[in-house]
Structure 1
Amino acid sequence: MDPRTQLPRIGILANEDSWYFQDLQCAASGKAHVERLEFSALQSRIGVVESISTDALLSENFDAVIVRTMPPGSLEQVVFRMDALAGLERQGVLVINPPKSMELAIDKYLSLSKLSSAGFRVPQTHVCQTWQDAMVAFEEMGPSVVVKPIFGGEGRGIMRVEDADLAHRVFKTLQQMGQIIYLQKFVPHPGYDLRVMVLGDTMWGMRRTSADSWRTNLSRGAHATPETVPAEVAEVALAAVKTLDLAIAGLDFLPDGEGGWYLLEANAVPGWKGLSAACDVDIASKLMDYVVAKIAER
């Protein structure tokens, strides 16, 4: 008998050249058999029994699926992918993160609305569909706002707008492209923010510092250092993850300059390359242990 069949079987939805898949593959040694899956290969056949597959039936070949990428796609593609993952859950496959939770977290408007309703402190935000409404919000929230895509990460598509003429052009262009206009009041900060990685009940903190940009994404050259998570931030981070029902998440906190913090957003497919290096912790191994333990509990 192939000894791998005695180990949990874990599929990882990841890009072909994914550093994260390679990291998880190394972390799985002796713990689980892992295989890379393609989001574009997800398919479903509905009849007597629904079958969801890539190259093979997932429910018959995997105990768990870890979502390690969220590739861009049309609304139909994104909805189908989440529906297919929900189908896997119904068939007994553990999905990390749960698809309903991912749907919530990847939609900046929906997740921020839910977090705000739950009492978390978030930046003043306005979401609308016309450039005229956006201009009214800009005048009320200015003189500086941050415009973001509702879907997206790593700082892609984010723009700071401080000029009314530029705001008019940006908002009108977004409307012509059929985009939702999502703007937040710019929160001045001392050149850094705090990324908190939460896995179950465990967390790690990383300060992201940028000397020459208000954006602190590591992919844009920010510097990462380990940071002890303040008690009040840790409490908010755990509560926010529970509110969104996430198993693993990256939460971004911004200091308000007065000793408090804003919760900017929660990432349901968080990267950990920079955090692992900064905090000297093997996040992939921690995640693999977590998933294997969850499989055993079943």
Structure 2
Amino acid sequence: MADITPLASGSNDRPVVQPRQDAPILLFGDGRDWHGKSLGRAFKARGISPITVPLGACGFDTTKSHGLAIPGLGDELPAAAFVRFVPGGSFEQVTMYLGVLHALRDSGVMVWNDARTIEACVDKSTTSFRLAKAGLRTPRSWTTVHRDEAIEIVRRLRAEGLKAVQKPLFGAQGNGLVLVETPDDLAPDEEVNGTYYLQEFIPPALDEQFQDWRIFVCRGRVVAAMLRHGVSWITNIKQGARAKAAIPSQDLSDMALKAAACVGADYAGVDVIQSRDGGFLVLEVNSMPAWNGLQKVTKFGITEHVVDAFLDAAFAHGRAAERGEA
């Protein structure tokens, strides 16, 4: 059973449920993809069998002491939760999924990455805002719901001899990217759900050599990195890019760490590109990054490192909660 802390005398509210350190670990995902299986094996190798559950199967239930409906959890809170995947869906569905993650954090549960970070990264316009506010060099970006404003932005860039990249506001793995040279290249309104996110296109540092960095950050450290060589200007591994192991400079590492920190990420994949002036710009921060491509060019187990860091943080969080510091 969960530990229960009584409320002050005279309160009509329910007792507050506190997570126990020996409570189960939640792994949000279906557990069937490479990452889910890899994470499951790493946890089990450390004597832990996490409750693997899709966020789509979760919800709220105020008849329970913790107010949540999570299959396999029963009437107690988890010790910690690791978010591998948040499913798509209607606005209402995604709001509820993120609401469950918010509720866990509000209940004192450590969540990697928590809903605030996921919201900041899934919405590319918010990521761009956070990066710019943090003083990080990042491509100029614009977001609008008005097509005529998007057309005007493209025209201004064209007058500067530049192009734009149109990205789905909520997108991943290079899907739905469009290189925009003229207003006619803009995707139709229905394909972008009425929202235009445009990012200045950064030409490759060397002609026709399309490449960028993926730097994997975990708990304030750069864990691994690779150069992605694209067959086109889209350099995602899922789009056919080739990975090559690489060691980032200290400046590049510091940039990646600052980028992850400005969105509050416990672990993240930071995408960085080099411009023709030799400088680097942060393109995106991924709060649920894939690392199977990176693992192929990395000699140690990335999953094992992530799980160890997660468990270290969870136990430290649990001890702080017991002292009333979390």
> How high is the TM-score relative to the length of structure 1?
0.90
- The corresponding residue for 1:81 is 97
Q: CA RMSD, aligned part only? A: 2.1
- The reply to whether residue 163 of structure 1 matches residue 163 of structure 2 is no
DSSP 3-state at the match of 2:135: coil
Report the Cα offset of residue 280 of structure 1.
Answer: 1.9
DSSP 3-state at the match of 2:216: strand
Query: In the TM superposition, what whole-angstrom CA distance separates every residue of 1:92-132 from its partner, at most 9, and x where no partner exists?
Result: 32210121111111111012111101211111111111111
- The corresponding residue for 1:3 is none
Q: Separation in 2 of the partners of 1:33 and 1:175? A: 43
Is the 2:39–2:303 contact (alpha carbons within 8 Å) kept by the matching residues of 1? Answer: yes
Q: Separation in 2 of the partners of 1:27 and 1:48? A: 31
- The reply to whether residue 208 of structure 1 matches residue 224 of structure 2 is no
Return closer, same or farther for 1:259/1:10 CA change in 2, 3 Å cut-off: same
Unaligned runs of 5+ in 1: 1-5
Greater shift, 25-34 or 73-82, is seen at: 25-34
- The reply to whether residue 278 of structure 1 matches residue 294 of structure 2 is no
Is the 1:149–1:158 contact (alpha carbons within 8 Å) kept by the matching residues of 2? Answer: yes
> How high is the TM-score relative to the length of structure 2?
0.83
- The corresponding residue for 1:14 is 29
Q: Separation in 2 of the partners of 1:110 and 1:205? A: 24
- The corresponding residue for 2:40 is 25
- The corresponding residue for 1:244 is 263
Return closer, same or farther for 1:224/1:58 CA change in 2, 3 Å cut-off: farther
Query: In the TM superposition, what whole-angstrom CA distance separates every residue of 1:129-181 from its partner, at most 9, and x where no partner exists?
Result: 111111100011134211001111101111112234333xx2xx216864210
Is the 1:144–1:186 contact (alpha carbons within 8 Å) kept by the matching residues of 2? Answer: yes
DSSP 3-state at the match of 1:21: helix
Higher helix share: 1
DSSP 3-state at the match of 1:136: helix
Equivalent residues in 2 for 1:139-154, closer than 5 Å: 139-142=155-158, 143-154=162-173
- The reply to whether residue 229 of structure 1 matches residue 248 of structure 2 is yes
Query: In the TM superposition, what whole-angstrom CA distance separates every residue of 1:47-76 from its partner, at most 9, and x where no partner exists?
Result: 684421222336726311111112211111
Greater shift, 158-167 or 63-72, is seen at: 158-167
Identity of aligned residues (%): 26
When the two structures are aligned, how many residues end up with a matched partner?
289
Is the 2:125–2:142 contact (alpha carbons within 8 Å) kept by the matching residues of 1? Answer: no
DSSP 3-state at the match of 2:271: strand
Report the Cα offset of residue 290 of structure 1.
Answer: 1.1
DSSP 3-state at the match of 2:179: strand
Q: Separation in 2 of the partners of 1:198 and 1:237? A: 7
Is the 1:145–1:162 contact (alpha carbons within 8 Å) kept by the matching residues of 2? Answer: yes
Q: Separation in 2 of the partners of 1:78 and 1:48? A: 22
- The corresponding residue for 1:186 is 201
Q: Separation in 1 of the partners of 2:75 and 2:93? A: 21
DSSP 3-state at the match of 1:73: coil
Q: Separation in 2 of the partners of 1:57 and 1:35? A: 8
Q: Separation in 2 of the partners of 1:238 and 1:82? A: 25
- The corresponding residue for 1:97 is 113
Is the 2:259–2:282 contact (alpha carbons within 8 Å) kept by the matching residues of 1? Answer: no
Report the Cα offset of residue 242 of structure 1.
Answer: 1.6
Q: Separation in 2 of the partners of 1:49 and 1:103? A: 27
Is the 1:8–1:295 contact (alpha carbons within 8 Å) kept by the matching residues of 2? Answer: no
Unaligned runs of 5+ in 2: 1-20, 319-326
DSSP 3-state at the match of 1:228: coil
- The corresponding residue for 2:239 is 220
- The reply to whether residue 128 of structure 1 matches residue 151 of structure 2 is no
